[in-house]
Structure 1
Amino acid sequence: MLDLIYPASNDLLLTIFRGGPKDEGEWAAARRSALALAESGNLLLTRSRSPQADWIEDTKLLVDAGAAAYKAAQARDTKALADVREPLDRSCTTCHRQFRPNVFPQQGGSK
């Protein structure tokens, strides 16, 4: 989480909050971050992780948010990329509330 998912989500959210990518280098970085999120979610779904239904549902939120961000970045669609902010935030907060309560508060969000 700390070495792959957190930096990718942070980079993507910072890009969104700054109004979207401004040049090809920033679009490429957005694609890399989005792909890292989607594929990290797929890794978290491997059988060696957790068979819990909640874990699977929460992880699929990350996969879906990463895939949507990648599609938006591929299309260079700033609005579609901005629309990923809420689902990405929800994927993190939903999972952390259940599986990392010592790290994430029970109430509130990352907004």
Structure 2
Amino acid sequence: MEAFTKNVIKIIQHIPSGYVMTYGQIAKVAGKPRGARQVVRILHSMSGKYELPWHRVINIKGEIVIQDDEGAYTQKALLESEGICFRGNKVLNLEKYRYKPDADFLEKELQSF
């Protein structure tokens, strides 16, 4: 498994309840600033195996981007159960709920970039 993939998994596993990160933010922290689409693929293929809190990952606009209604409803319900409030149907206040890993996490948990 590539270092980037391992880092993405670790980052997503460490997003605390009540917070979110964006696809691009995760890619940047994991070492590939332009790797947002890879984050999507990792989430899609490895969420079950690594028990990733997939619902805590959203787009840069603070929106749920899942297209099917059931999946979007599930993601929103999971986030609301963690105390996240939405503006409108699928948009949250990203500045309020964005998780920003600290330097200790980056140094201790992630492999060298």
State whether TM-score is above 0.5. Answer: no
TM-score by length of 1: 0.34
Please identify which structure carries the higher helix content. 1
Please identify which structure carries the higher strand content. 2
